Amino acid sequence: DQQVKQNSPSLSVQEGRISILNCDYTNSMFDYFLWYKKYPAEGPTFLISISSIKDKNEDGRFTVFLNKSAKHLSLHIVPSQPGDSAVYFCAASAKASGTYKYIFGTGTRLKVLA
């Protein structure tokens, strides 16, 4: 049961251009969404989050958009830099679970070309 899906396993973008990573979810109880960045042999590193009461959150080069009616969120990175090359996971949690466990997507490997 894949409640959180990232349909693009990989994405290549030229340095300086915009990277758009997409994530879809099925559980309408999710109320908090996050993006994590992961390098090989390291733990996920928190990048940016958004609560279900918002539709946009911005932090520097990173912006997350949430479309609740479509159950879709996206991460925009602009401008993309070679150091952004990593695997990006979206994650979702639900207050109803009581524990705020995260359900992760399968990840998208971003490669930013110099």
Partner 1 sequence: EPEVTQTPSHQVTQMGQEVILRCVPISNHLYFYWYRQILGQKVEFLVSFYNNEISEKSEIFDDQFSVERPDGSNFTLKIRSTKLEDSAMYFCASLLEAVAADTQYFGPGTRLTVL
Residues at the contact surface with partner 1, assessed by CB under 8 A: 31-32, 34, 36, 41-46, 49, 51, 89, 91, 95, 97-107
Least Cβ distance, residue 83 to partner 1 (angstroms): 19
Length of the chain: 114
Least Cβ distance, residue 79 to partner 1 (angstroms): 25
CB closer to partner 1, 25 vs 102: 102
Least Cβ distance, residue 80 to partner 1 (angstroms): 23
CA dihedral 26, 80, 18, 110 (to 10 degrees): -40
